[in-house]
Structure 1
């Protein structure tokens, strides 16, 4: 214990409970200065944008209020992290800097450089884990290699003893306050210039308290049928915690503790949900060991895949105007809410990279800008899975049939009719392939194909054959 001031550098750990670095700062003694530094340039091409920045703004707003209730103050700075930390140390007299670790390549490199620079200057530095159950450097195959396939990864870690959430003793915390220091949240200009993000307010309550409420609501009932309902986009069968986990308004230790306390993980629903939490862990494991994968395929043979770049085709997909109802419903849900059901994410991704032969990176970029849960590890793993070029990826020749997928997972067409209202009067029989409906049925439904709703952007059979031909070129090279 000492009276030295500790700077608590917050990044994607925007909560008070189960915050390892915060509790370490409390235990160290002395006043604590919590700070968020807007240093988007450090992430280069993968700095947060769009919907993710909107969520971040609201998360910081909520965290600021939480610190205030606990007698503290959240400070905001903007600029190079090391330079800002040094200036803050000089102005506050801090002797320590604590933070929670990040695992993306640019952050790891930056954090290592900052740690060395501060220690060389005589500052005590401590980094902690608060965002993963098992850090990537603690998991490897029997031969010491990183995992590229999920199932053996899951077998390795599923029986490991889980660390409980960290109990943060806020009652003994001594927070540093100085109203004249730093800038205001609004000065960070996180909210996008485009007004579309205002729609997100209706769909998300962004706070640490809300994250726990959503978890408890999910565990009270939906988790029991998660193994089946998670595939039904019109059913509230998922937890929707992904943006809260990404920005750290809740941590996986909290999720797993509650899950174990309320359910038997031998039951199918709870076990399937636990495996999804570990799938997120696997995504970070892959990104940590293969930091180039946001920009290049893990499987090198796909580096020269014969993509057919077409901005018009990409735009039709982005706007939900492909003529495939389940795809268009998903893309419109995304643009309206900042989120898309995971089953539908797989369907829309498959159509883009296989039927339409558009680069998976273009799809990843669109998701990165429009998802409130835009997470570099999960986004990269998901898109490389769809493209057949990453870890645990579906074979490239596995090509989703959007009509079959729609009929199986949205059998009554409720999801499609909600997000594609121009099809709401189409009979269920034809809802996933309206081009098969007789002209009289379309006329009665008030839907003229090519006018009210587009014809398919590409014939399914033709798209499949073209994708397989492209795959054959890769095999032959």
Structure 2
């Protein structure tokens, strides 16, 4: 290893310059830095919306690197094969990357690290996607936490890494390796005509993420605890979109939240708790990776999930006949995101009233969410379904009508997304019909359908299924 041998920075979900430990280490080495993004099977298997949004984030990050005199190299193929080729082509002696914690990426990264190390290459991984490495947070018995509240109490006073400034330049290699054209990968192909509808709702790139955080802290964090569940109020940070792609670090958000807490803003602690809820999801995914694809709790494999058939399509279309559920599903299709309270309601209706397996909803969100996150999505769906980590000792079933009365009392949210509720619907509601597949044959003039499952009947059926599960 010499000062002229490049460091290959394998870029993944860390599309930022500031608060980036692997980039900070590469710059501190004084060596040339070659940033490369690899479109491998993990990337290829992304759903339509997250894959498209990733492409937009990569485009913005490539420009950010160019602005400081560097560039982002794009390559497609098996990650190990691509990295070996780049090492041979550039004379690099080091390949460094930021860690990921879902099982597919852990398995890939272990193989890459071992294979590169066998050839004498300095292969390293760095923290950066979470506040605390999953193995750093343990119970008094040296085990991992399975309930959120004690997890929060364990981490709330732990030291969080200091912020790191963005480098003003990166040392260039003597010769840049060849790169694919990002546009040729057509990451947006699966979005079809929905891309133009969703695009205005996005905040793409590191600068947009930092501005979003600053605005939230200034305007909304103080009322976050009291109003975060209100469907008709826009007080949430929206930062899940940027966190997903690493356009902002959890470290930056934590310190901003702590400053707000120190300044006496009443909603700041609850905001930090929500950030740690994401942390808890990654803690569980690392220690119990089966949460991604199988029931987290024992005894749930016998639960009587039903094949809802055509009713699942109605749920996806926002045509269950339950206004707040349907509004939320339309919001998802128009914006690529969904209010957190609404996510719980649509998940509860699907898994409890319709008795449809949580994986059906998990897969649909993985297809449609621009802020899709493997850990948060899996834990969220299992938490609502009842098969996941949850301290509550009862089978939770949300009543969407009473929830709507509480969190959308004047029906502003429902009317914003359901064109059928108004004689002159707003553009937000009409946009759904511009985005959804023509094959669905939907029109804003359609009458509202009767509920797939009446709420009282669905609750009784779900409780009976739960009791039968416990008897089996």
TM-score interval for Structure 1 and Structure 2 normalised by the shorter chain: over 0.9
Change (3 A) 1:460 1:150: same
1:6 Cα deviation after fit: 0.6
Other-structure match for 1:61: 59
Q: Determine whether 1:95 maps to 2:93.
A: yes
Q: Given the alignment, which residue of 341, 344, 347 partners 1:346?
A: 344
Distance (whole Å) between structure 1 residues aligned to residue 33 and residue 391 of structure 2: 45
Distance (whole Å) between structure 2 residues aligned to residue 344 and residue 265 of structure 1: 31
Instruction: Determine helix, strand or coil for the equivalent of 1:302.
Output: coil
**Equivalent residues of 1:384, 1:393 under 8 A apart:** no
Instruction: Determine helix, strand or coil for the equivalent of 2:448.
Output: coil
Distance (whole Å) between structure 2 residues aligned to residue 92 and residue 75 of structure 1: 12
Other-structure match for 2:368: 370
Worse-superposed segment, 192-201 or 113-122: 192-201
Q: Given the alignment, which residue of 175, 179, 190 partners 1:182?
A: 179
Q: Determine whether 1:469 maps to 2:469.
A: no
**Equivalent residues of 1:396, 1:471 under 8 A apart:** no
Other-structure match for 1:135: 133
Distance (whole Å) between structure 1 residues aligned to residue 340 and residue 419 of structure 2: 21
1:266 Cα deviation after fit: 6.4
Instruction: Determine helix, strand or coil for the equivalent of 2:110.
Output: helix
Q: Determine whether 1:282 maps to 2:280.
A: yes
Worse-superposed segment, 332-341 or 24-33: 24-33
Q: Given the alignment, which residue of 206, 209, 230 partners 2:228?
A: 230
1:243 Cα deviation after fit: 1.4
**Equivalent residues of 1:385, 1:394 under 8 A apart:** no
1:217 Cα deviation after fit: 0.5
**Equivalent residues of 1:33, 1:177 under 8 A apart:** no
Number of aligned residue pairs: 450
Deviations 1:395-437 (A, max 9, x none): 56221111100000000000001111211369xxxxxxxxxxx
Other-structure match for 1:38: 39
**Equivalent residues of 2:90, 2:175 under 8 A apart:** no
Deviations 1:16-69 (A, max 9, x none): 111111111111122110000011x2479xx32111111101100000001101
Other-structure match for 2:157: 159
Distance (whole Å) between structure 2 residues aligned to residue 378 and residue 266 of structure 1: 29
Matches within 5 A, 1:373-384: 373-384=371-382
Q: Determine whether 1:195 maps to 2:190.
A: no
Other-structure match for 1:439: none
1:451 Cα deviation after fit: 5.5
Change (3 A) 1:387 1:177: farther
Other-structure match for 1:328: 326
Other-structure match for 1:21: 22
Instruction: Determine helix, strand or coil for the equivalent of 1:122.
Output: coil
**Equivalent residues of 2:7, 2:94 under 8 A apart:** yes
TM-score by length of 2: 0.92
1:212 Cα deviation after fit: 0.4
Structure 2 unaligned spans of 5+ = 425-444
Change (3 A) 1:221 1:42: closer
Q: Determine whether 1:419 maps to 2:417.
A: yes
Other-structure match for 1:440: none
1:176 Cα deviation after fit: 3.1
Deviations 1:78-105 (A, max 9, x none): 0100000000111111111111111111
CA RMSD of aligned residues (A): 1.8
Q: Determine whether 1:459 maps to 2:458.
A: no
Instruction: Determine helix, strand or coil for the equivalent of 2:83.
Output: helix
Distance (whole Å) between structure 2 residues aligned to residue 286 and residue 357 of structure 1: 25
1:224 Cα deviation after fit: 0.4
1:188 Cα deviation after fit: 2.3
Distance (whole Å) between structure 2 residues aligned to residue 161 and residue 339 of structure 1: 32
Distance (whole Å) between structure 2 residues aligned to residue 97 and residue 349 of structure 1: 41
Distance (whole Å) between structure 1 residues aligned to residue 27 and residue 446 of structure 2: 63
Other-structure match for 1:434: none
**Equivalent residues of 2:21, 2:128 under 8 A apart:** yes
Distance (whole Å) between structure 2 residues aligned to residue 180 and residue 28 of structure 1: 21
TM-score by length of 1: 0.91
Deviations 1:190-233 (A, max 9, x none): 11332222211111131110000000010002110001211012
**Equivalent residues of 1:4, 1:31 under 8 A apart:** yes
Instruction: Determine helix, strand or coil for the equivalent of 2:267.
Output: helix
**Equivalent residues of 1:356, 1:458 under 8 A apart:** yes
1:263 Cα deviation after fit: 3.6
1:367 Cα deviation after fit: 0.5
1:135 Cα deviation after fit: 0.9
Matches within 5 A, 1:422-441: 422-424=420-422
**Equivalent residues of 1:265, 1:271 under 8 A apart:** no
